[in-house]
Structure 1
Amino acid sequence: MAEPRIVDLTAIEPVACPCGLARRAFGDFPEFPGTVHLTEIESTARAHSHSDHTEIYVILACGPDAAIELDGVRTPVTPMTAIAIPPGVVHRAIGKMQTLIICHPEFDPRDERLVDC
C-alpha cells in the first residue's frame, strides 16, 4: 500500500515555462495520474496549448486586471477562480498572478505547443 506524501511546493526548485516559473510536484508519485504546479505567471506569458493534457488553473493571487484567454476570448479572473482547460484549447494568463495548476495526465513538456499571437 502506498504511503501519503506531503510536499512543500515553495521548496521545489522552479523551472521556466511559457507562463513564467513553475514548481512541479508528484510527477514521481504513481498513485496520482497527474502533477500539481505552483506557478508564478509573468506578464510575458505566452499562448500555448496541449495535445493530451487537461489543466485546472486555480488563481491564488492576481492583480485587478488579471484575465485568462481561452481560444482568443478574454475573461477577467480574481483569486479563487478555477478554470478547466481541455486539450487543444489555446490559453494564456494575462497579468502577473500566482496559480495552482493541476495537470492530467502527468505533465510532459513535449505536449506543450507555443502559439504565435
Structure 2
Amino acid sequence: MTAATAKPPYELVDFAVIAPVACPCGQARRGLAEVTDYPGTIHVTEISVDAKLHYHKTLTETYYFLECEPNARMQLNDEILDVRPGTCIMIRPGTRHRALGQAKVLIVVYPKFDPHDEWFDE
C-alpha cells in the first residue's frame, strides 16, 4: 500500500459543517456515514417539541442527552422516563420512541443509519 492510498489512522468529524436534515425527532447532523470501515453512524440531533413517535426494524440507537429542558422526557413504547443532561438510553429495534421536550442529543446508531428504516404506526 502506498502513502497515497493509505487510510489515515482516524476520522475527524466537524458537526458544525454538516448540514442538518429533517428527521422524525427534529433536525439531525449525521457523521461517519461515508466511512466504510466504521460500522455505524454518529448523529447530533436537535429534538423539536413536535418529535414524532417512530421505530426502527433493524437499527439500535443510543441516545446521550447533551442538553434538555428541565421537564424533558423520553417515551419508550408506553413508558415515559424523565431525562436530564448525562442520561443515556439504548433503544433496541422495534421500540417505539420519541423525546418529549426540546433537547440536544448525541445518537450512536448501529448498523449505519438507513432513512428507509423509520417506521410510524399512523
Is the pair's TM-score, using the shorter chain for normalization, greater than 0.5? yes
User: Whose strand proportion is higher, 1 or 2?
Assistant: 1
TM-score (norm. length: structure 1): 0.96
Partner of 2:15: 9
TM-score (norm. length: structure 2): 0.92
Runs of 4+ in 1 over 4 A off after TM superposition: none
CA RMSD for the aligned pairs?
0.9
Residue pair 1:2, 1:31 contacting (<8 A) in 2 also? no
What is the CA distance between 1:112 and its match in structure 2?
0.6
Cα deviation per residue 1:45-97 (whole Å; 9 max; x = unaligned)?
A: 00000000000000000011100100110000000100000000000000000
1:2 alignment partner AA: K
Runs of at least 5 residues in structure 2 that lack an aligned partner in the other structure: 1-5
> Matched residue pairs, number?
116
What is the CA distance between 1:13 and its match in structure 2?
0.2
Q: Does the residue aligned with 1:22 lie in a helix, a strand or coil?
A: strand
Choose 1 or 2 for highest CA Rg: 2
Runs of at least 5 residues in structure 1 that lack an aligned partner in the other structure: none
Partner of 2:81: 75
Structure 1 position 114 matched with structure 2 position 120? yes
Partner of 2:70: 64
